[in-house]
Each structure stands twice: as structure tokens, then as C-alpha cells.
Amino acid sequence: MIEASLPTALEMGVEQRVKAPGFTAEVVVSDFNRRIQVLSYEARDPGVMVEKLAAEARGRGHGKLFLKAPEFDREALENVGMIREAAISGYFCGEPADVMALYLDEDRMKRPYESEQKTILESITSRPADASIPDLPSGYWMATARPADADELARLYATVFASYPFPITEPAYLITTMKTHVVYRIVRDGEGSLVAAASAEKCRRYRNAEMTDFATLPSQRGFGLAQHLLAALEDDMLEASIPNLYTIARARSAGMNRVFYNRGYELTGTLVNNCHIAGQFEDMHVWCLRP
């Protein structure tokens, strides 16, 4: 049985190492998201790993198991029922990854907003990409977040999101990730209040980063703050010698999908009901920065 070590982590999920005959994997078991996510793995037969983790997920009442796999494992994963939902170009030190999913109940595959999401995408991609960024409003400024910003940053995330797949509303979590593998960028207004933020989650092992955690106060939208944050984080990753960038964006968020389209990211698939965000389970679009 896979066990979480911290009670508060049982819902959101905690990273754990699973070792069994034939495979070793780093996983996140999330009761809140009703899924098991495989972060990385080594397996003689990846199908055996999937079967064992799927049994664990079913026992917890989860609806989904997903992972990022090198292309040469795709056939073995499909043989045990996984489907390819997306690709991430350059994920493994320049080599592509297949995002594979196994659905454990039919409800997890239902897509009530699929038509709406298609309309949003069509409205975005029907026009040429525009990478121009408006100037920040007078008095606004951007910085890299520090531990001293964690309380205010957590409050921003709690204000913007009714729910989120990771505990970004907890200052301790933000501080821990700042010190390990996440760069947070923030925007403050002329009075010094924090009004927008985003992050880049680095994977130095594979030289990639997920551009994520974008949040802007409702009163501050329309000023191009997300574009500024994304451009700055891209520069941060270039400086860190991490060239392979991607994002997993809410499919119903026209604004965020437009930001990545305009910055030259390519849509490479959709993860169905992938996580609990903004109060419900939602589809997530995968966008990758074109090399």
C-alpha cells in the first residue's frame, strides 16, 4: 500500500518513491485530484508498473493514472489500456515525451465543456500570433519572489482560485518549492500590493520547465501582466540553461491559452479532467514552446 506521510498532503498529494519488483517510480498520490501521477520511473516492463499503480488508484476511488513516457515505451503502455493524450516536445533533454493516461471510471472521461473549449481555441488560433507585450502600467514592477513574499503570494492564489491541484495557498509549500526547484515571479502595483504571479517549475534532470501557477487579481486583468510574467520566466530558464518549456493550461481559460499561443507555443494535446482546479475537474491543454 502506498502511504502519504503528512495528513495535509493526503488530499493534495505528496511525492513518494514506490519500489516493487520490476520497477521504481516517483509518484504523487492525490485524493483531492482523484489520480495518481507518475513523475518519473524506471521499469523493465512499464505495463506491470501501470497495472500495480492502477490497482492502488482503484482502491482509493481514483479515476485517472497518468505519466510522461519516452516514445519507446508507448506500445507497452497502450497494451495495458493507456492512451496518448498529448506530447511534450523536448521533455527528456531534447527528446519528446508522450503523456499517457489510463481512465479508471467512465465519469472521468465525460467532457461537458468540450464544445465550449473548441470554440475558445478557434477564436484564439484564427488570428496570427502576436508576441508584443504592452508596457506595465505606471508604477507597476516585477520581481522574483522570495520567502518573505510567501504569505502575500499564498493569499493571491487563494483569492484567484476556488481550488487548485497543489497547495499553493500554503506559504510553507511556496517557501519549500522556492528553495528547491520553482522560480516564482510576481508583479506589484504602484502601492506595492502583489497583483499577479506565475512560476516556472524546473526539472534539471531532463532540462525542462513547466510554466505554471499564473494568477492575476480580477481587477488587474487586461494589462498584459501574464505576458510580462511569462517573458521574464522564459528569460530565467534561458539563463538557467533549461531550453525545453511547456505549460498545462485550463482549457476553458481563453486568456491563458491566448498568452501561450501569442508567445509561440504549440498546442500538442488535451488532458481530460486532469485535475481539480477553480472548483471542479477540468480539461487541460498542453502547449510547448517551438524550438
Q: Which domains occur in the chain, in start order?
A: 9-105 (3.40.630.30), 114-289 (3.40.630.30)
Q: Which three cell numbers stand for residue 77?
A: 503502455
b/e sequence 235-245, b meaning 16+ C-beta within 10 Å: ebbeeeebbbb
Q: How far apart are CA 197 and CA 216, in angstroms?
A: 7
Kindly give the interhelix angle for 171-180 and 150-160, rounded to the nearest 10 degrees.
120
pLDDT tens-digit profile, the chain (291 residues): 333 332 344 466 778 999 999 999 999 999 999 999 999 999 999 999 999 999 999 999 999 999 999 999 999 999 999 999 999 999 999 999 999 999 999 999 999 999 999 999 999 999 999 999 999 999 999 999 999 999 999 999 999 999 999 999 999 999 999 999 999 999 999 999 999 999 999 999 999 999 999 999 999 999 999 999 999 999 999 999 999 999 999 999 999 999 999 999 999 999 999 999 989 999 999 999 987
pLDDT, one tens digit per residue, over 164-188 is: 999 999 999 999 999 999 999 999 9
Q: Which amino acid is at 254?
A: A
Kindly give the interhelix angle for 254-262 and 225-239, rounded to the nearest 10 degrees.
50
Q: How far apart are CA 99 and CA 94, in angstroms?
A: 15
Q: What is the number of H-type helices and E-type strands within the chain? A: 8, 13
Q: How far apart are CA 287 and CA 269, in angstroms?
A: 8
With contact defined as beta carbons under 8 Å apart, do 75 and 256 qualify?
Answer: no
What residues form DSSP beta bridges with 209? Answer: 202, 245
Q: How far apart are CA 128 and CA 284, in angstroms?
A: 22
Cut 0.85: pTM above it: yes
Q: Which three cell numbers stand for residue 22?
A: 520490476
At 4 the pLDDT is: 33
Beta strands in 104-153 (DSSP E): 141-144
Helix (H) or strand (E) holding 70: strand 64-70
Q: How far apart are CA 21 and CA 49, in angstroms?
A: 9
